[in-house]
C-alpha cells in the first residue's frame, strides 16, 4: 500500500471528512498550487527527503523546516543538481 505524499494527506483526509474523497494526485496538485512567502534567510535547519509520486517512475524531494516541521518546498525530482539549486536559497543553513 502506498502512502500519500506529505501535505497531500491533509487534503485527502479533509475530502473524506466532507464526503468528497479525492485521489493522492489531486491532493498533490492542490498542495503544489499553494504559493506562500518564505523568508529563506530566517531558516537555520532543514530536513530533506525524497519520495515517489509514482512508484519506480517519478520521484520528488521534500524540503522542510526542521525547527517548525513545516514543509517549505517540493523539488520536482531527486536529481542532485536540481536539489542543490533549490538548497542555495537557504543561506543560513549549515551542512
- Which tens digit of pLDDT belongs to each residue from 16-70? 666 667 666 776 676 666 677 788 888 999 999 888 877 778 888 888 889 888 8
> How big is the CA angle at 45 (ends 93 and 41), to the nearest 5 degrees?
50
**Of 42, 40, 20, nearest in space to 30 by CA:** 20
Answer yes or no: is pLDDT of 3 > 70: no
Q: What is the pLDDT of residues 9-18, one digit of tens each?
A: 665 666 666 6
Predicted TM-score (pTM) of the model is: 0.63
Amino acid at each position: 500500500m502506498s502512502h500519500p505524499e506529505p501535505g497531500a494527506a491533509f487534503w485527502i483526509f479533509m475530502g473524506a471528512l466532507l464526503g468528497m474523497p479525492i485521489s493522492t494526485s489531486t491532493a498533490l496538485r492542490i498542495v503544489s498550487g499553494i504559493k506562500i512567502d518564505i523568508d529563506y534567510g530566517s531558516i537555520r535547519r532543514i530536513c530533506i527527503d525524497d519520495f515517489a509520486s509514482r512508484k519506480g517512475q517519478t520521484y520528488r524531494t521534500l524540503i522542510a523546516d526542521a525547527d517548525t516541521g513545516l514543509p517549505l518546498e517540493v523539488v520536482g525530482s531527486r536529481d542532485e543538481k536540481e536539489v542543490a539549486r533549490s538548497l542555495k536559497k537557504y543561506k543560513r543553513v549549515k551542512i
